[in-house]
Chains A and B, each alone.
Chain A
């Protein structure tokens, strides 16, 4: 038997003999968060003997200790519906939705009524392996180390603490530049007889570096002190690793490429539901396909019913160990979508059911009878809430009413029955034949993407070129040019250049947030064509007088984006994409990067770029974001 553990960041494999196991069980679940609790409970309900370990003194994980009061995205269904119903009916707590401790109490009662053995203050310090099979854990229970044997172990720590003790290949941070995870600070205060919550994107932290994690956490909480004057302060809580966290090489991958292309794996563990919920404002260094979806086509908030493969929770080459929760085999983009609270409850429940079936049938996790599994998870309602959903727009009714008021329009009476917290779901179909007309409107997203994924790209290009040439409105001409540019057709270049030269800041209205300005799209596309003659117009964007232009200081009142006073979004977008496009052109043209190195070093010296984008002070999230971008850019052009 081998004990595998992390010491000073390295995996140590230590031969051990004659291990006495203090406890044993069928299913050993580590982490009593959203996924872990339901994994343990569902496995126990299927007859498995279950032990649940939790590091903290209380259960519930991020959605409880992170003071989450409501949900957005994630599908309903499964065992959690019972707790959700009890929470909504509750009158003990003051809440504007569901109080986090209220939920915690109901979940605690669920576990109390199950046969799950719960141990708090307990963390796994090592994994016992027999060959490549995990057979137990070394656990520190707050007083001493004990050994626990299990048929199957579930890593529901959300940060992959057990996975990190294996030889499985791990991935961490943004794929383009390995930047670490963004985190959020959530504050609650009482004002005007209501509980108010505020989420603040607080920058990036390497949560596996204890010094960086500690410093950033403390800094973020210090910064949260400015909310003390907003109302009667109640609490502040940290959300780390909830996007772009750890993923690993699994037997299958829940990749965003498959997801946005509508590919469904043979064995689906469960269906998640979300948009690709990336936070942070710098999209210039993202993966090209992701930029096609988010920036060029402006599909940021299209919600997707996401089939998560069974094998995505199984680390490659490892038996007896699976994950439940937001640590799975995926990429940083899909990870931003497969993490919603309600999906994590259901995912945990599904993994627990599969684990129990594996133990009962004495087979490995991936070899369970899939039909039996499917029947069980569908009966329990945790598999897929809505089999008719694939791609769509989900808009909160309250936001819809606000928009109608701003535009001085009367709300559609067909929505009259909705409550403010309800959502309006509009299915989306990517079909050129059905959506081409939307290129003539201010909501062309679906059409642009439909052109991009169309099978007969040559035919689409010819149609787009012809329409662009004969367009009777600027909006139609420009939208056709964007669609054509996305297909890498150089005939789009004159129009794209004109968009940039005119600093066209028209924005599409498709999404409920993150709507991309047309200049930003065009600047991003110019980089891909790699034409040297575009360098001067891009360098102009970085010039001293650019930031003073009026357009950067007058966002319209109905702009569908979260307004934050501490940064100039539009300038940041155009600036970052211009930098990225310049670098792309240099690389494509094999021009000397040393020139760019000198240029950017000079450009970023002093605080002038920072001050064009934000008035935030050092250490504040907006400041950190700009500094991160500057550092990444300089790294791109650094001499080897």
Chain B
């Protein structure tokens, strides 16, 4: 029976950083890649400069640069997922996808976590459990769109989505609309945005309504939500010490 030092719930950048520093760790990610977002939860699509200190962080940044997913102060957030996966294949961090943690109970000083994967139920034993998820959130929802008349479309969208925010999204003519989705579930917020968009008859066409919920609330725990730079979030996890 293998006992991990740490079971990390959720696969953000900070989780990866922590797992690489603390080698006997395992990350459980509930989503399959097609529905998961390693790049969660960055506050905006723009990039705050950060100089990496560790070799792993430099390697991660190197991969991102080689894939050209950073352009000045812009991040190609959808493409980061490929870069992250490239990084994981090269660093061999232990991560289980489609892995839900049902419960984690302490027995004789060790956590026995019941997990559900495609295999069914099984157990992971760990001395410590770090939960990087929280239901205490103030979620935003992002819609990627393309337009060659941003001024006109922006005015119409912001008039409709009064608390929304529009920013450039890496490629020319590509933008992101962010709205506060508090109280909505993902299916409902997509429909809500769609109905509003349809009414406006815009030049702008939606590319992707990524279910990108990101969180407004800072936390002391292991989490990406405090950062606007994935490398910074990674190293925050790398250097993270509880308490």
Q: Do A and B come from one complex?
A: yes
Interface residues of A (CB under 8 A from B): 5-9, 55-59, 65-67, 90-94, 99, 101, 104-105, 108-109, 112, 118, 120, 123, 125, 140, 145, 159, 161, 164-165, 190, 195, 207-211, 213-214, 217-219, 221-222, 224-225, 228-229, 232-238, 240, 619
**B190 and A58 contact, CB distance less than 8 A:** yes
Across-interface contacts of A109 in B (CB, < 8 A): 191
The complex places the Cα of A240 from the Cα of B98 at a distance, in Å, of 12
Chain A residue with Cβ nearest B146? A94
| Given known contacts A94-B207, A190-B207, A234 and B88 CB-to-CB distance under 8 angstroms | no
Q: List 16 A-B contacts (CB under 8 A).
A: A8-B121, A65-B34, A94-B205, A94-B207, A108-B190, A109-B191, A165-B120, A214-B98, A217-B97, A218-B89, A219-B89, A232-B171, A232-B174, A235-B208, A236-B78, A238-B33
| Given known contacts A101-B190, A222-B86, A225-B83, A207 and B118 CB-to-CB distance under 8 angstroms | yes
Across-interface contacts of B100 in A (CB, < 8 A): 55, 123, 140
* Closest chain B CB from A561 CB (angstroms): 28
Interface residue B108 (Cβ < 8 Å from any Cβ of A): no
* Closest chain B CB from A223 CB (angstroms): 8
Across-interface contacts of B219 in A (CB, < 8 A): none
Chain B residue with Cβ nearest A187? B82
* Closest chain A CB from B37 CB (angstroms): 11
**B118 and A125 contact, CB distance less than 8 A:** no
Q: Which of A7, A8, A211, A214 has the most CB of B within 10 A?
A: A214
| Given known contacts A66-B34, A211-B96, A214-B95, A7 and B120 CB-to-CB distance under 8 angstroms | yes
| Given known contacts A9-B120, A123-B100, A218 and B207 CB-to-CB distance under 8 angstroms | no
**B89 and A7 contact, CB distance less than 8 A:** no
**B96 and A56 contact, CB distance less than 8 A:** no
**A56 and B35 contact, CB distance less than 8 A:** yes
* Closest chain A CB from B41 CB (angstroms): 14
Across-interface contacts of A221 in B (CB, < 8 A): 33, 81-82, 85
Other A-B pairs, 11, CB within 8 Å; known A213-B97, A236-B33, A240-B32: A56-B35, A57-B211, A90-B198, A104-B187, A159-B118, A213-B98, A218-B85, A218-B95, A233-B82, A234-B144, A235-B208
The complex places the Cα of A222 from the Cα of B89 at a distance, in Å, of 8
**A105 and B191 contact, CB distance less than 8 A:** yes
Across-interface contacts of A161 in B (CB, < 8 A): 118
Interface residue B228 (Cβ < 8 Å from any Cβ of A): no
Contact of A190 among B69, B121, B146 (CB under 8 A): B146
**A228 and B67 contact, CB distance less than 8 A:** yes
The complex places the Cα of A217 from the Cα of B89 at a distance, in Å, of 10
The complex places the Cα of A165 from the Cα of B174 at a distance, in Å, of 46
The complex places the Cα of A63 from the Cα of B171 at a distance, in Å, of 27
**B207 and A234 contact, CB distance less than 8 A:** yes
Contact of A92 among B95, B171, B185, B194 (CB under 8 A): B194
**A125 and B89 contact, CB distance less than 8 A:** no
* Closest chain A CB from B62 CB (angstroms): 13
Q: Tell me if B's interface is mostly helix, strand, loop or mixed.
A: mixed
**B98 and A92 contact, CB distance less than 8 A:** no
Interface string of B169-192 (1 = CB under 8 A from A): 001001000000000011110110
| Given known contacts A101-B208, A125-B102, A120 and B185 CB-to-CB distance under 8 angstroms | yes
Contact of B121 among A125, A222, A229 (CB under 8 A): A125
Chain B residue with Cβ nearest A231? B171
Across-interface contacts of B102 in A (CB, < 8 A): 125, 140, 145
Interface string of B99-119 (1 = CB under 8 A from A): 110100000000000001111
* Closest chain A CB from B146 CB (angstroms): 6
* Closest chain B CB from A119 CB (angstroms): 10
Q: Which of B85, B119, B121, B171 has the most CB of A within 10 A?
A: B119
**A92 and B206 contact, CB distance less than 8 A:** yes
Across-interface contacts of A214 in B (CB, < 8 A): 95-99
**B119 and A58 contact, CB distance less than 8 A:** no
**A6 and B171 contact, CB distance less than 8 A:** no
Across-interface contacts of B76 in A (CB, < 8 A): 228, 233
Chain B residue with Cβ nearest A619? B89
Interface residue B209 (Cβ < 8 Å from any Cβ of A): yes
Give the contacts of B39-85 with A (CB-CB under 8 A). Answer: 67-69, 76, 78-79, 81-83, 85
